[in-house]
Amino acid sequence: MRVLVTGSAGFIGYHLSRRLLAAGHEVIGLDALTPYYDVRLKSQRHAMLEADGRFRAVIGRLEEQAAIDAAFADAPQVVVHLAAQAGVRYSLEAPFSYTDSNVTGTLAVLEAARRTPPRHLLIASSSSVYGMAGKPSAELDPTDRPVSLYAATKKATEAMSHSYAHLFGVPITCLRFFTVYGPWGRPDMALFRFAEAIAADQPISIYGEGRMRRDFTYVDDVVAAIDRLIGVAPVSGQPVSPADSLSPVAPWRVVNIAGGRPVELLRFVAAIEAAMGREATKQLLPMQPGDVSETAAEVGLLRALVGELPQTPIEAGVQAFCEWFRAWRG
């Protein structure tokens, strides 16, 4: 099978591409290697993928027609669109980078999929679309009150993709990721920042005064879910359960990708301290604009679609990250 992965030098994109290659698939990886965080980390990920002869890299932005044309030139049978401008807080500083990448860039992918239809198009969304949910979030819950521009662009991504599924019959699944973490993670995320600060004997800033809860999801569990979902394209008129988000007018659905077991931030920090072998100096700070106090997922639909999936305990996942981090940092 030939799979196009956009954002292949990114955190989830790298892990998914590696899994697909290990299973014998051909992977086309599209990435712009943007400097949102250290490009060396992205280049290292891509270099490891390029060591496999079945991986073909296309370097360019989603908004660049030449890059999109090159990525779709071999008519991929499956497209997993993960490339995006990530990060809730950075959207306060650089809002247009979010509309350029997440909205215009996704539109370019949808147009390419209209011209060269894959068997299944999977698109990254985010738990951020649920806003201040205040309870475990299910796919049928309303998502019309985003509290950050990042969340708003992900909501726009979902809405645009639904229109293309309806108009052109492209089967589309939107993946609502919940706080993905693990080795080769992004430096802007809490786990990486906390590990760096602890290693350097510097204080860590804990927002929400440590009372925030997140449905942390280990990256290997996430890519296992994506891998299985690739083979479960939505079919109009064939819901799998009463909780299915399948559209009544299109081969389109959204699916939560999470473990369904939220963890308090202070427990997360304690796991990092244990894995790093030293205690952190903690600065408890108020919530930041755009943040939500809790993310928690209902995962019944995911299980109905692909069955039971691995659920890596937070301590084991953090330990794996910290072992990688120490080796990578040197």
Could you tell me the residue ranges of all domains in the chain? 2-180+217-257, 190-214+261-329
Using CA of residue 113, residue 114, residue 119, residue 124, what is the dihedral sign?
Answer: positive
> Do 2-180+217-257 and 190-214+261-329 come out as alike in CATH topology?
no
For the chain, what is the largest distance between any 2 Cα atoms, rounded to a whole number of angstroms? 57
CATH architecture, domain defined by 2-180+217-257 = 3-Layer(aba) Sandwich (3.40)
- pLDDT score recorded for residue 290: 62
Annotated active-site residue in 36, 98, 130, 150: 150
Q: How many CB atoms lie within 10 A of CB 159?
A: 11
- The count of residues in the chain is 330
Instruction: Note whether 13 and 35 are within 8 A (CB).
Output: no
Long-range contacts of 281-284 (CB under 8 A, 24+ apart): 281/201, 281/202, 281/203, 281/204, 282/203, 282/204, 282/206, 282/210, 283/203, 283/204, 283/205, 283/206, 284/206, 284/209, 284/210
- Show Cβ contacts of residue 96 under 8 Å, excluding neighbours closer than 6 positions: none
- pLDDT score recorded for residue 115: 97
Q: Is 36 a catalytic residue?
A: no
DSSP 3-state of 27? strand
CATH architecture, domain defined by 190-214+261-329 = Alpha-Beta Complex (3.90)
| Ranges under pLDDT 70 in the chain | 134, 209, 290-292
Instruction: Note whether 175 and 245 are within 8 A (CB).
Output: no
- pLDDT score recorded for residue 262: 87
DSSP 3-state of 186? coil
DSSP 3-state of 281? coil
- pLDDT score recorded for residue 209: 66
Instruction: Note whether 194 and 212 are within 8 A (CB).
Output: no
Among 206, 221, 217, which residue's Cα sits nearest to residue 296? 217
